[in-house]
Amino acid sequence: MNVMDWMVFPVVAIAAVVVLRKLFEDNPHKGCSGCSGSSKAKQIRTTQRS
């Protein structure tokens, strides 16, 4: 294998981190194609109250 081929392993590791972060982030629908709330706006969480 040449040096370029070895590069696929760090790429795969970075992809794993990105996917895990995306799947476990607090706001899973941020960036969803159907949702339209602005990413700059701060959503105040209102579902956590007792």
Partner 1 sequence: MNSKTSSLTALVGLPNCGKSALFNALTGLRQKVANYPGVTVECVEAVLREDLGGGRALRMLDLPGAYSLTPQSEDENVTHEILVGNNRMGARPDALIVVADATNLRLHLPFVLEIVQLGYPVCVALNMMDLAEKSGMKIDAHALAESLGCPVVPTSALQQQGLQELAEKAAGLAVSAAKVPDDIKWSPSSREEIVARRKRVEDILRRTVLVPGTPSAFTAKMDAYLLHPVTGPLILLAILVLIFQAVFTLGAYPADVIDGLVGSFATYVRTGLPSGLMNDLLTDGIIAGVGAVLVFLPQILILFAALLVLEDSGYMARAAFLMDRLMGRVGLSGRSVLPLISGFACAIPAIIGSRSIQSPSQRIATIMITPLMTCSARLPVYTLLIAAFIPSLTIWGIFNLQGLVLAALYLAGVLFAFLFAAVLNLLKVIEGGGHFVLELPTYRFPSLRTVARGLIERARAFLVRAGTLILGIMILLWAISTFPRPPANATEPAIHYSIAGRLGRAVSPVLEPLGFNWKISVAMIPGFAAREVLVSALSTVYAVEANEDQQNSILTNRLKEDWSVATALALLVWYIFAPQCLATFAVMQKETRSWRWTLISFSALLILAWLAAFVTYQTASRFI
Binding site for partner 1 (CB under 8 A): 1-2, 4-5, 7-8, 11-12, 15-16, 18-19, 22-23, 28-29, 31-38, 40-47, 49
We find the least distance from the C-beta atom of residue 35 to partner 1, in angstroms, to be 5
Could you give the CA distance from residue 9 to residue 27 in angstroms, rounded to a whole number?
29
| Cβ partners under 8 Å of residue 30, min gap 6 | 37, 39
We find the least distance from the C-beta atom of residue 45 to partner 1, in angstroms, to be 8
We find the least distance from the C-beta atom of residue 26 to partner 1, in angstroms, to be 10
Largest pairwise CA distance in the chain: 58
